[in-house]
Amino acid sequence: MRHGVRLGVDPGDARIGIARSDPTGFLATPVETVRRGKGDLRRIARLAAEHEAVEVVVGLPRSLSGGEGPAAVKTRAWAATLAAVLAPLQVRLVDERLTTFSAEAMLRDRGVKGRERRAVVDQAAAVVILQQALDTERATGTPPGEVIAGTSPGGET
């Protein structure tokens, strides 16, 4: 298992959930929810710097069959822009099927209700995404997902 803090990111249309791991890569915990839009990439870059992250793991929304639809295409483009902002920090895309569903269920089981649950579900989904990535790396010895090449906002790589 590689050493160092990783950030987990669950990008949604309105909000972006952020989680982080401990330096040993054992446990993911929630950090914050970032509002999607102007300044979101800068905020994520600040969080990566504050937590001294060695890598950022972004959830890629695939269909249950494993295919990639419009949401995955949009996430890939957003992750490429994030990778350009964070360079030379590595950004990885990992499968996030059912993570929001799992996060919702976990929060419901803990008694978190309605509006309060909506406020933290993105962070909880980021925790699930990151924890799955950490567990996969620990089990296989190989970093999960795929490294994304950065693209500047103007489209150049």
Q: Is residue 128 part of a domain?
A: yes
- Owning domain of residue 55: 5-147
Indicate whether 61 belongs to any domain.
yes
Q: For residues 20 and 51, is the Cβ–Cβ distance under 8 A?
A: yes
Question: CA-to-CA distance for 70 and 91, rounded, in angstroms?
Answer: 20
Q: What is the pLDDT of residues 13-71, one digit of tens each?
A: 999 999 999 999 999 999 999 999 999 999 999 999 999 999 999 999 986 667 778 88
| Number of neighbouring beta carbons within 10 Å of residue 154 | 6
3-state DSSP assignment of residue 155: coil
The reported pTM is: 0.85
- What is the domain count for the chain? 1
Strand partners, 58: 9, 93
When the pLDDT of each residue in the chain is averaged and rounded to a whole number, the result is 87
| Structure tokens given for 47 | 């969080």
Tokens, residue 86: 């964070």
Determine the pLDDT at residue 155: 45
